[in-house]
Amino acid sequence: MSPVNSQIQNKGAVGAVTIDGKVWNQVAMRPVIPIGKWGIALDLVIYFDAEGNIHADEWDFSSANGIKNTLIDKIYYIRYGYPGDRIYGKIGALDRVNLGYGILVSDYANMMLYPQVRKTGLNFEYNSKSINIEGFVNDFKENIGLFGGRVVTRKVMGLPIGFSVVMDRNQYLGMKDSDGDGRPNIVDDFPNDKNWWVDTDGDGIADNNPDEWDIDGDGITDTLDSRIPGWTGETVILDQDIPRKGNPLNLSEDSDNIMAFAVDIGYPLVMQDNFSISLYAQIAQMIGETVHPGTGETLSLGTGLVPFGISSRFGPAQFYFEYRIIPQGRFEFNYWNRIYEIERIRFSSGENNQIILQTKESGLGRFGKQKGYFARMVLNVGPMFQVGAAYHDMLGEIWSTPDGEFIDDKNQTFLASLRLKKAISKIQHARAFYQQRNVPNPFKFDYTESTILGYELGIALGQGLVLNYTFRRSFRDMNGDGEISGEGETIDIRSIETSFSF
């Protein structure tokens, strides 16, 4: 047996998961293959329901694009080295990506809706004495929709100066399109039929289908022509007023990009093994367009400034503090964060029950001039636990829909996390987190699309078996009324499985 084969870890799992609100049974094989500095893990999983039907998305060989996505989905990760090494790279699920001090990218993740939405991204680093390079890609199945990078050099006055660039080349790419017709499922009245996509009256017959005689469902036949059985006369238009749904967005033709760049500089005051203090400053400019929430006027995106920041480490504790300014509005700190893939596209209601897709970028117009601070602490409580909390408190102009104008209000963010670092008795691993961003008071716990919470728990059953339970809850304003209400706007992802090695 070769040295490589002797190190292969064969892991498996059986259990159940929720996908699009339905419970599916799963059988998974996840072999881990180490080869020197390389590590390869595959995710070979089959989901099937109570009737034995297989969830087809993971095994779609019907088209070239389906084959590509199916093969990419089988990669749990491909890794070279480890973070902090001279060269590090990882292809697969991304759980926590940061660029620099995080003014643009902070704790970005592409797997918050896994396994309902599977994304295979890239994170890489190159580190040397004179230069550091880091970057990421969100998903190869999107043909690289979101990507970013940062270069740090110490050749200017001996201080670390960083330059960051991030771009989402088409913010609509994260939408699911089951039939491949270019129309996302959420706005496609026939998500599994690539020939049709608009049904104004909701009767199950497409507007452009020759069998549709009454497009608006008002009981009046639209036109008497050869389609009508027994009609042999000239064409007669009976319904002169037919309100129609508009054509939905086409991913193949419609795109909307957003870009940002940032510059940061640091100054290390104290650098010791368990004690360090550094000062830093950073500025970022977002490039794109938003709309004034009152007038609909198109506006350019704004700037974010951190004139003063401090990062420190005191033994088991890490502490960060920033003074933040949004001089002109239309900017969001940590724009690409843990729930970006959920917030990337939002919904609003249009005429004739049409759902309008709106980018996260288009909502930045509700932020005016603001000032405030950000504080974060990560504390290792002995060898067992790690606790983290962050709080962002800004005061300034926020658009008020009831008042129809900008008012002075709070813009706050609260993040919290707890992680078990070492097994306790039968508890092998545990983690919990909560996040809510850009609300007047996050401690009221009124859910918005910027809210996400979840936990993971692994319990040893003996004989090498581990029971793993995962729960994540996020929210979608499906009807576009600006409020989260009902089960239909709550996205719960549950997974319970028994894993084993052999």
Name the nearest CA neighbour of 41 among 81, 1, 75: 75
Better pLDDT: 240 or 145? 145
Single out the residue of 366, 365, 364, 371 nearest to residue 395, CA to CA. Answer: 371
What confidence score (pLDDT) does residue 3 get?
46
What pLDDT was estimated at residue 126?
A: 97
Segment 288-314 mean pLDDT? 96
Domain ranges of the chain: 81-170+256-501
Q: What is the average per-residue pLDDT within 253-275?
A: 94
Average pLDDT over residues 299-311: 98
- What is the percentage of the chain residues whose pLDDT exceeds 90? 66
Contacts 24+ apart (CB under 8 A), 294-302: 294/399, 294/404, 294/405, 299/330, 299/365, 300/330, 301/258, 301/260, 301/330, 301/331, 301/361, 301/364, 302/326, 302/327, 302/328, 302/329, 302/330, 302/331, 302/364, 302/367
Question: Using the 8-state DSSP alphabet, how is residue 296 labeled?
Answer: -
Contact 162, 155 (CB under 8 A): no
The Cα–Cα gap between 284 and 164 comes to 9
Which residue intervals of 135-292 are DSSP H helices? none
Query: Which positions ≥6 away from 494 have C-beta within 8 Å?
Result: 17, 18, 469, 470, 471
Q: Evaluate if residue 269 carries a pLDDT over 70.
A: yes
Residue 335 near residue 104, CB atoms below 8 Å:
yes
Would you state the pLDDT for residue 4? 47
Confidence check: pLDDT of 9 > 70: yes
Q: Report the percent of the chain where pLDDT is more than 70.
A: 97
Residues in the chain: 502
| Stretch among 185-189, 202-206, 394-398, 479-483 having the lowest mean pLDDT | 479-483
Q: Is the bond into 115 cis (omega within 30 degrees of 0)?
A: yes
Distance, in Å, from the CA atom of 48 to the CA atom of 38, rounded to the nearest integer, reads 33
> Which of 182, 101, 136 has its CA nearest to residue 374?
101
- What's the predicted TM-score (pTM) here? 0.90
Report how far residue 399's alpha carbon sits from residue 409's, in angstroms, rounded to the nearest whole number: 9
Indicate the average pLDDT of the chain: 91
Report the pLDDT averaged over residues 75-95: 93
Mean pLDDT, range 454-463, rounded to an integer: 94
Residue 193, helix vs strand vs coil: coil
Tell whether the model's pLDDT for residue 7 goes beyond 80.
Answer: no
Give the residue-averaged pLDDT of 82-94: 94
The pLDDT score that the predictor gives to residue 1 is: 42
Residue 59 has pLDDT above 50, yes or no: yes
The pLDDT tens digits for 361-406 are: 999 999 999 999 999 999 999 999 999 999 999 999 999 989 999 9
Provide mean pLDDT across the span 296-308: 97
Lowest mean pLDDT among 116-130, 131-145, 238-252: 238-252
Residue 203: CB atoms within 10 A of its CB come to 11
CATH 3.40.1350 describes domain 81-170+256-501: no
Mean pLDDT (whole number) for 197-208: 88
Strands (E), 272-384: 275-287, 289-291, 298-300, 303-314, 317-326, 345-349, 355-359, 367-381
- DSSP track, 389-449: EEEEEEEEEEEETTTTEEEEEEEEEEEEEEEE-S-BTTEEEEEEEEEEEEES-GGG----T
Check residue 2 and give its pLDDT.
Answer: 45
Reply yes or no on whether the pLDDT at 210 is more than 60. yes
Q: Say how far apart CA 91 and CA 18 lie, in whole Å.
A: 25
Q: What is the pLDDT of residues 135-181, one digit of tens each?
A: 999 999 888 999 999 999 987 778 899 999 999 999 999 888 888 89
Give the angle subtended at the CA of 17 by the CAs of 106 and 43, to the nearest 5°. Answer: 70
Name the pairing type of β-strands 465-475 and 451-462: antiparallel
DSSP 8-state class, residue 252: T
pLDDT confidence bin for 351, thresholds 50/70/90: confident
Site of tokens 């059986």 = 14
- How far is CA 338 from each of CA 153, 434, 437, 458, 479, rounded to the nearest angstrom? 27, 11, 11, 23, 23
Distance CA 30, CA 16 (A): 16
pLDDT given for residue 340 in this prediction: 96
